Structure 1
Amino acid sequence: MARGIVYWHPERLDKLREMILQNKPITEIARYFGKKPEAIRMIISLHKLKSQKSTRGITSIEHKRKQISQKDIAKRLQMLQNLEVKPEAIEQQFKDEQLLAWVRNYPLFIKEVCNVKLQPYQKKMIELMKSRKRVCFVMGRASGKTFTVALFSIAESIINPNRKIIIIAPTLRQSKILFDTITGFIASSDALYNSVTKTTSGMEFLIRFSNNSEIIALPCGDRGETIRGFRATHLIVEEAAYVPDEVFNAVIPFLATTDGNLILLGTPSGKQGKFWEAFNSPEYAKLHLPSSINKYLPKDWFLRAKNELSSISYETEILANFSQSIGSFFRLETIEKCTQKYDLTSFPESNKTYYCGIDWGRFHDKSAIIIVSKDSDNQVKVENIIEIENKALTLQTERIKKLHEVYNFRKIVAEYSGLGIMPCDKLSDEGLPIEKFHPTLANKEDVFNHLLKQMESGLVIIPNYQRLQFQLRNFKFELTAQGKMKLHHVTEEVGDDLVDALCFAVWATKESGGVAVLDPMRLDPTNIIGLW
């Protein structure tokens, strides 16, 4: 596949160029370099070797292309649709009757040229993209939506001349995933490869075919400022739930002069934004499918997803359901399942491993410290809760040091921002196993989803501690317009210091190593996870 191909060393390129000029078969070249034929084709394309001239004055790649011009299915389809004068017929890989059948039947083209047999729902996707101006695909992860849209883009570009298909996604990486899927199919097919006249990569990925059709992939950014001025017959928006409204306003004009098609696809997020509006608009043809629609996904994949994802994430990522834009993060039944009646303890037991989570507070605010243990069954139990009020940060760090002398924490996790920078650095400099977390929206979502999943799985035991219970019941999530999850307390009076400290403490137990036993003679700051 195209993904993973890199630019070669000049010496290897010289040898490749030499073999090309000698008209060596692509299979022989691939064997020489220990690569697959499709990888060699993409190297030739990336290094623009198709136009290199031999010392005999013959442009070997171009000469070969002329010799096999009838293998250029894009050009031949133009000719057969009376868009060009048909040349003298020579040996053909596909008969004219086959080519004309593709015009009416894209799944047949995909089967015969791309060697892919579509599942029924994928055929339905192809039919909607071919026949409708506005399409919205709301689908679970690994359902094959990107795969199918890639195949449609190839079929549409090859079968119809002068198509301009533009793919946008929130980031360069995401737009490149779809583009790499397209180039992978092209590199694996002689018929498709022979129809390509130009490829470029960088901040803009482009494939141009001999019939003047183009596929272009672009990152959209936050406002779409860098992608204005394009014209498109088809606009494909990947991960549409995470594309800001400002970007939609910038890219919709791409279709103005062509009366083009708009295709939105992705997993859902909150009930807001253009993707949600399209899903509820009568102007859009829609498919709403969970991940389980893909028959090639093994059953244990769903079991792992169920075990690893929180209920909120599973609902959106796998079942493909739009979630409420705001609501309680912890369900009451989840909190009650984890709550037990027991007394907190200030003294460690020798056979337990201890972890600590800290939410720093200012001089007039409370700092929250939660100490947990983890047993051999991976069950985490809150052992102690300490609230510090009206104490300077220097005194708070001294308290943490004394607690560490008692508990010998395997790991201490604390927020590393604002007022938390100084105490975290001081504790780290003095050799404590401190984990510094940076509180971005994405990182907080990861860490709190982990806490929620552990609680839903019954792997967290919490006491009937009034302030902690109250904060858990009043902790809210809110989905932003970009699909990010914003987590917060209801009011300043309620607060979230204990919830944060609990989250940090449980996250501290998430490590790849085994369970360590309390050893007052030795600190073990290994297996540090650097996520927030």
Structure 2
Amino acid sequence: MNSKSSEKKGGNSKPNSLQSNSSSKLNILRKKYSVTGEKGENLWNAENAVDYAEQKLGINLDDWQKEYINTKGNTAVRAGRQSGKSFAESLRVALFALLNPKTQTLIIGAVDRQSVELFEKVKSHIIALAKSNIRGKPTLHKIELSNGSKVIALPCGRTGYGLRNYAIHKLVVDEAHYVPEEVFVAVRPMLATTGGTIDLLSTPRGNKGFFHDCFSDDEFTTFHVFSRDCPRITEEFLASERKRMTKLQFSQEYEAEFLDQLQQFFSKDLVDSCILPQSSDTHSEVGYSLPIIAGGYFLGVDFAGYGGDENAFVTLVNQRERSYVKEFETSEKVSAWETVNKVIELNEQHNYKKIGVDDGGLGTPILDFMLEHNKLRRKVIGLNNSKRNISRDGREKTLMKNDMYGNLKIMMERGLIKIPDDPDFIRSLLSIQIEINEETKKEIIFGKYSHITEALIRAAWLVKAKGLRLWVR
């Protein structure tokens, strides 16, 4: 994780980092906020707070992490997967809160789980470094300290509207390239009265947006971290990933490059046009106003791979030509048998006309079992990411993953499908990218948070294919 290509564009001089206090202020802090009766070295009398934290936590920070934690002002980190950016940020936030009294730090992400995961790391560092300085009992989203500082974690939503009332000293945006542009417009004024600063960290997504622009903005000190420089990532692992991914995908995910060849498949405007508004008078589990209809129900399923990931289940209800997302859910780290039972349970609720599943990899044995189940075998269809033969009037063609994505996009453009105003659902759609090989013109579609969308494209394809015969084998 050593950032040999650390891009220092010049940070601002506003007080932000744990090193920003003068010696006199630190002396006051040592007396007022150090643990009562504690003997020997502690966070407040240590010669170097980062070195002390490193020793206390029993870790060895990479050089770029140490440099980053000590950096003042606005920062932006673009880093390859598993390069340690979240760990460095969580320690940076913990030390900032402990050493800067009466400050408020807000951690946001596109979805709640994202901000909470980073917050949990911050909380664990504070407990390890200065547990006695915690005031009250921390919650899932907030921790308060005896020095008057607070750390809060919240989802930002599509617009950041719910964050407007906070006055903060440090704003942390996790996976910043996946956060809508409107959010940055809403949250930057929150820093005006406090002289606060922003920490942005993300794996890149394309070459546009606020996060991308910060790397040519002199107000930000920037860091560019390659996964290959992380001593905890083996060459063998990266070699296997190179084989699995295209060159451009690898460059974006593990070398954190901004690439104009990788572009968003579903534009934000298109996604927004398909959203049904939130409503308290709802007839749907997804929390928006869904017409009471007695149409056909279709289930799309994307199975988790052997590495974990998520299962995703999306139920579409179709009436005439329009389809609505009736409900969706994801599950993590469940057995294949639990996944089968989930499909059976959902079928009992909705009596699906058809069920489209990803039958590649782990999905193959699951599909085989469902084909033996009395209530599922006439409904379940294998729709994997390579190809599937379909026919109408005896004519065959090959169904590719891109066909399913193309069908969903056309349905969205024609207003034939409506989706919930849910951050997880929207994030999944907006994460989908397309790469076009300049030589072969082959299109490759992929996404960092693709599971929900992968389930949706299968359900949407079943709606389109109502008049077709789909071969399961």
Q: TM-score, normalised by structure 2?
A: 0.52
1:147 aligns with 2:87: yes
Give the whole-Å Cα distance in 2 for the aligned partners of 1:119 and 1:95.
Answer: 23
Q: Is the 8 A contact 1:272 1:325 kept in 2?
A: no
* Counterpart code for 2:54: K
Q: 2-side partners of 1:213 and 1:87: how far apart? A: 12
- Determine which of 132, 135, 145 is the counterpart of 1:194: 132
1:120 to 63, 84, 87: 63
Q: How has the CA–CA distance of structure 1 residues 181 and 78 changed in structure 2, closer, same or farther, with 3 Å as cutoff?
A: farther
Contact 1:243 1:482 in 2 (8 A): no
Deviations, residues 34-71 of structure 1 (Å, cap 9, x unaligned): xxxxxxxxxxxxxxxxxxxxxxxxxxxxxxxxxxxxxx
Post-superposition shift, 1:525?
6.9
Give the match for residue 104 of structure 2.
164
Partners of 1:177 and 1:89 in 2: CA distance? 28
Q: Residue 244 and residue 90 in structure 1: after superposition, are their counterparts in 2 closer, same or farther (change >3 A)?
A: closer
| In structure 2, distance between residues paired with 1:108 and 1:488 | 44
What is the aligned counterpart of 2:242 among 291, 294, 306?
Answer: 306
Residue 252 (str. 1) matches residue 182 (str. 2): no
In the TM superposition, residue 237 of structure 1 has moved relative to its aligned partner by 0.6
Specify whether residues 265 and 88 from structure 1 end up closer, same or farther in structure 2 by C-alpha distance, changes over 3 A only.
closer
Tell me how far apart the structure 2 counterparts of residues 116 and 322 of structure 1 sit (CA, whole Å).
31
What is the aligned length?
A: 290
Larger radius of gyration: 1
The C-alpha deviation readout for 1:65-111, integer Å capped at 9, x for no partner, is: xxxxxxxxxxxx99963369769997424347x73345xx3322322
Superposed displacement of residue 167, structure 1? 0.7
- Identical columns (%): 25
Letter in 2 for 1:210: S
Q: 1:435 to 1:119 in 2, by over 3 A?
A: same
- Could you say what secondary structure the match of 1:286 adopts? strand
For the residues of structure 2 that align with 1:87 and 1:238, how far apart are their CA atoms? 29
Structure 2: give runs of 5+ residues left out of the alignment: 1-22, 266-351, 357-370, 388-397, 410-426, 446-453, 455-470
Give the Cα separation in 2 of the matches to 1:239 and 1:300. Answer: 26
Determine if the alignment matches structure 1 residue 435 to structure 2 residue 435. Answer: no
Distance across 2 between alignment mates of 1:80 and 1:242: 37
Q: 1:311 Cα deviation (Å)?
A: 3.2
Give, in whole Å, the separation in 2 of the partners of 1:81 and 1:212.
Answer: 17
Please point out which of 100, 103, 118 is paired with 2:45. 100
Partner residue, 1:384? none
SS of corresponding position for 2:28: coil
Where 1:216 maps in the other structure, the secondary structure is strand
Q: Is the 8 A contact 1:140 1:267 kept in 2?
A: yes
2:165 match: 229
For residue 206 of structure 2, what is the aligned residue in structure 1?
Answer: 270
Cα distance in 2, alignment partners of residues 250 and 276 from structure 1: 18
CA deviations 1:265-295 (Å, max 9, x no partner) are 0100111110111122222111111111211
Determine the structure 2 residue equivalent to 1:179.
Answer: 119
The 2-side partners of 1:92 and 1:302 are apart by: 46
Indicate if the aligned counterparts of 1:78 and 1:211 stay in contact, CA closer than 8 A.
no
Quote the residue 1:324 is aligned against. 260
Amino acid at match of 1:201: T
Residue in structure 2 matched with residue 82 of structure 1 by the alignment: 28
Shift of 1:484: 2.6
Rounded Cα–Cα distance in structure 2 between residues aligned with 1:206 and 1:88: 21
Coordinate RMSD, CA, aligned: 4.5
Q: 1:91 to 1:201 in 2, by over 3 A?
A: closer
For the residue of structure 2 that corresponds to 1:166, the secondary structure is strand
Secondary structure of 2:162 counterpart: helix
2:262/2:433 contact within 8 Å kept: no
Pick aligned residue for 2:153 from 217, 238, 248: 217
**What SS does the aligned partner of 1:82 have?**
helix
Read off the aligned partner of 1:181 and give its amino acid letter.
Answer: K
Paired AA for residue 183 in structure 1: K
The residue that corresponds to 2:175 in the other structure is: 239
Which residue of structure 2 lines up, in the alignment, with residue 109 of structure 1? 52
Report the residue type matching 1:250 in the other structure.
Answer: A
- Please state which structure has a larger fraction of its residues in helix: 1
Question: Per-residue deviation at 1:328?
Answer: 12
Corresponding residue for 2:431?
484
Q: For residue 432 of structure 2, what is the amino acid of its counterpart?
A: M
Q: Distance in 2 between matches of 1:87 and 1:185?
A: 17
Deviations 1:187-214 (A, max 9, x none): 4x2x521110134435xx1111111111
Q: Which runs of 5+ in 1 are unaligned?
A: 1-76, 330-421, 438-446, 453-466, 500-506, 508-523, 527-532
- Asked whether the equivalents of residues 270 and 483 of structure 1 are also in contact (C-alpha less than 8 Å), the reply is no
Q: 1:448-467 CA deviation, whole Å, 9 max, x = no partner?
A: xx659xxxxxxxxxxxxxx9
Q: 1:85 to 1:117 in 2, by over 3 A?
A: closer
Query: Which structure would you say has the larger RCO, counting Cα contacts within 8 Å and 6 or more residues apart?
Result: 2
